[in-house]
Amino acid sequence: MDSLLLSYTVITNLPHDIDAFTEGLEIYNNRIIESTGQNGSSWIAEVDPTNGVIQKKIILPEQFFGEGITVLNRKIYHLTYKTRIGFVYDANTYKKIGEFEFDAKIKEGWGLTHDGSNLIASDGTDRIHFVDTTDFKVVKSISVRDNVTKISNINELEFMGGYIYANVWETNLILKIDPENGRVVGRLDLSGVREKVHVMHSGINELNGIAYDKNSKAFLVTGKNWPLYYLIRIE
């Protein structure tokens, strides 16, 4: 990869449920909302940042493997992995208020964010799709590239400051992506953070989960089965 290597500073860490196989992460009204993918017991929950304790919880029917989430217009949008169904919940009550089918252009449900107007979804390929919230049709797709090289396995997403930030599955990288053309303009290597977490718990899985915190102007990141969230500021 030839894009700019971004530096970061760890501000603090917070407790994270070590059993959580993290697929989506969001900060909404100063609350952490997390989704997990677990066979037969995927869930979305509101998490107390002081102790990692779950305060509200939605458990999906066992046929669904949960994936990315985002909050737009006081609604939680939630993807599932291979069943091609998404769910919509009230962001305050957690009551289910709708569901939708994936557009055929979206291969699977992986990461999810929004730009204030459209949902932005990844499907494990090099493609990122912009999705209308009225009919859930894809209005635009971009291919993620570092110069001319396609980058596949785009996973959990966050939109901030006019850019898409994306985990790359089974790596320690977060990419900063231009939403107009898919060009990677920066990359963040969190290998150092992952190594520290691995010392604490050898059973961790990959880095996954990005949420921007407006108050601290920093990103909350974690991984599957990690014991901690990390609040980091990108320099």
pLDDT in tens, 146-166: 988 999 999 999 999 999 999
Is 211 part of any domain? no
* Whether the Cβ atoms of residue 157 and residue 122 lie closer than 8 Å to each other: yes
Is 208 part of any domain? no
Contacts of 142 (CB under 8 A, 6+ apart): 127, 128, 177, 179, 180, 181, 182
Is 10 part of any domain? no
| pLDDT band of 145, cuts 50, 70, 90 | very high
Classify burial at 36, counting beta carbons within 10 Å of its beta carbon; exposed 0-12, middle 13-18, buried 19 or more.
Answer: buried
| pLDDT band of 114, cuts 50, 70, 90 | very high
| pLDDT band of 28, cuts 50, 70, 90 | very high
* Residue range(s) defining the domain that contains residue 131: 23-190
Is 62 part of any domain? yes
* Whether the Cβ atoms of residue 220 and residue 205 lie closer than 8 Å to each other: no
Is 83 part of any domain? yes
Q: What is the DSSP letter of 192?
A: H
What's the average model confidence in pLDDT over 130-135? 97
Q: What is the pTM of this model?
A: 0.96
Is 197 part of any domain? no
The pLDDT tens digits for 206-234 are 999 999 999 999 999 999 999 999 999 99
Is 230 part of any domain? no
The pLDDT tens digits for 46-55 are 998 888 888 8
Is 61 part of any domain? yes
Residue-wise burial string across 42-71, b where 16 or more C-beta atoms lie within 10 A, e elsewhere: bbbbbbebeebeeeeebebeeebbbbbbbb
Overall number of domains in the chain:
1
Q: What is the CATH number of the domain that holds 88?
A: 2.130.10.10
